[in-house]
Chain A
Amino acid sequence: MSSTHALGSLLHDNQEPLLADWLKHIDEAGLSGLSRQEDVRRQAAELLRLLTDAAGRDHGGALAADSGALQGFLRDFSDARVREGFSSQQTATFVFALKRPVFQRIQALHGNDAATQAALIGSASDLLDSLGLKTIDAYQKSREAVIQRQQEELLELSTPVVKLWDGVLALPIIGTLDSARTQVMMESLLDRIASSESEIAIIDITGVPTVDTLVAQHLIKTVTAIRLMGADCIISGVRPQIAQTIVHLGVDLGSVTTKANLADALALAMKRLGAVVSRRAG
């Protein structure tokens, strides 16, 4: 019987005591996290079971890469650890904390047989190291996913679309525009036009210090897309510097309606929609 198989048997036959020892080590290292005792126990038990299975299948110490169950477990496990604010080191230590219990058990069972002991410890070491590395990998992926999600949310929050009137939406842009931001803005504006069935969208760039060719082109694409959908677009807040830049860049704003400020743009929008605003007398 290969040493990995033997290890598998050992793990299988000693699940309970190994689990108990492992949990003790985890607790002492303060790695339980905010999870309840039962949850930590359940996770450790599940991981031990998966590990025992892997050892039993004998892949020479390297865990089966396509073990869906193991991948799934590590993903959920690391998602939880990321959420709770644990570092990758702490997360991996959770796994490595199983080493001592396993080695001690091997020693207890094969104290007199140096060769067997060495082989088993070797296999156990390989297996747990591999698992530890996979855990770190899963942790990093989870972490990256969380960061990405946060970035997307931040991007969405910084480009609010507001309803100025029935059928009139406005997108006031503040700060420098870059490609990613412009794309997100474009999409959220178009989505709002569709969902609110607003006929006119005003893009206000009063708060934009500079515009480069790429951004100007993006704006034009946005206007064209809005037209294709069946709505219309007015760009407001074009300041002298930006007007100069656009002309110098040779960008053709052609048939895009522009207004000096948001108020004028709104007035035009209302007029186009046939709305009349009048002041009460007296």
Chain B
Amino acid sequence: MPIQKSETLPLRSDQEVVLARQAVRRVAQECKFSLVDQTKIVTAASELARNTVIYGGGGEMVCEVVLEGPRTGLRLIFSDQGPGIPDLAQALTDGWTSGNGLGLGLSGAKRLVNDFDIVTAPGAGTRITIARWR
């Protein structure tokens, strides 16, 4: 699957979460996603970027434009070397919260995208890949 474009952004502060959002918005517009689809992927990015900063102790987001036949996809990979998510099933259940609000973030983001993949383990960091296709 050819990657047409790729950029990496650091996620260490809430300012960088905003910069990441803006980057995703920009790329989504370039890919000519509809306004609603743009908003969905930007919002999902915001949720996951925030999680990376708050729970992952900081990390990065890779933003890629992927081509698969006639389809164009916007793929985002959020990774950190944090403590990992101990109970993934619970974290993906709506409304579960651990104080600062890891509630709808993960499960909500999942609903906003077409592809969602998460690799995490206690002590092994977290890597979440999401994508929206056009």
Contacts and interface: CB of A to CB of B under 8 A. Distances in A.
Determine whether A and B are in direct contact in the complex, meaning some CB atoms lie less than 8 angstroms apart: yes
Interface of A: 141, 144, 187
A141 B36 CA distance: 24
B99 interface: no
A144 B70 contact: yes
A13 B111 CA distance: 60
Contacts of A141: 70
A187 B34 CA distance: 11
Contacts, number: 3
3 contacts: A141-B70, A144-B70, A187-B36
A126 to B, nearest CB: 23
A141 B72 CA distance: 12
Contacts of B70: 141, 144
Nearest to A145: B70
For the complex of A and B, 3 pairs with smallest distance between CB atoms = A144-B70, A187-B36, A141-B70
A141 B71 CA distance: 10
Nearest to A141: B70
Nearest to B2: A65
A195 to B, nearest CB: 13
Nearest to B134: A148
A132 B70 CA distance: 19
Contacts of B36: 187
Nearest to B35: A187
A187 B36 CA distance: 8
Contacts of A187: 36
Nearest to B70: A144
A236 B47 CA distance: 37
B104 to A, nearest CB: 14
A187 B70 CA distance: 25
A95 to B, nearest CB: 22
B6 to A, nearest CB: 16
A196 B36 CA distance: 19
Nearest to A183: B36
A144 B36 CA distance: 22
A21 B36 CA distance: 52
Interface string B36-70: 10000000000000000000000000000000001
A206 B70 CA distance: 38
Contacts of A144: 70
A84 to B, nearest CB: 22
Nearest to A65: B2
A187 B37 CA distance: 11
Nearest to A191: B35
A187 B40 CA distance: 13
Interface in B56-96: 70
Interface in B97-124: none
A203 B26 CA distance: 35
A182 to B, nearest CB: 13
A217 to B, nearest CB: 12
A159 to B, nearest CB: 15
Interface string B15-46: 00000000000000000000010000000000
B72 to A, nearest CB: 11
A144 B70 CA distance: 8
A141 B70 CA distance: 7
A141 B67 CA distance: 13
A138 to B, nearest CB: 12
Nearest to B34: A187
